[in-house]
Amino acid sequence: MKADQIQTVRSTFAQLSSRADAVAAQFYATLFDHRPELRALFRGPIDAQGHKLMQVLGLAVSQLDRLPEFAPTLRALGRKHAEVGVVHQHYEWVGQALIGTLQHELDDGFTPDAHAAWIQAYAALAGTMLEGAHEHA
């Protein structure tokens, strides 16, 4: 990713930090509205899962400029997801829900540049996670 794209992802994510729980709730509402079958993959309270999601996403966003060093963590996360039944197609659906949530939450602040930067960021993160998922297979 280019430095300006990384900065765009970081700045837009920072705009959401004060309402992380609401953003996570919106993400899961979007995901389950479009793909209700994915609800079965989640055990326990969804608000706790949402908290984990925002923590991991925040960590990933902070490491976008150090992806080679962060890759082992992402691959391990991909392996964990594979162990609970997450498959390649699910990454596409999660990406769609993430982008939809960002559009909803950031409204006019989700500019075309922000959209493109998040697409690049998600592709890099999910791609590395999928490498780990394939190691599990």
CATH number belonging to domain 3-136: 1.10.490.10
Among 81, 69, 66, 65, residue whose Cα is nearest residue 126 = 81
Report the 10 Å Cβ neighbour count for 88.
11
Q: Specify the amino acid at residue 128.
A: T
- 91 neighbors 41 (Cβ within 8 angstroms): no
Residue 130 CA to residue 122 CA, distance in Å, equals 12
pLDDT class for 43, splitting at 50, 70, 90?
Answer: confident
Q: Note the pLDDT tens digit of each residue in 62-113.
A: 999 999 999 999 999 999 999 999 999 999 999 999 999 999 999 999 999 9
Residue 134 CA to residue 137 CA, distance in Å, equals 5
pLDDT value at residue 137 = 60
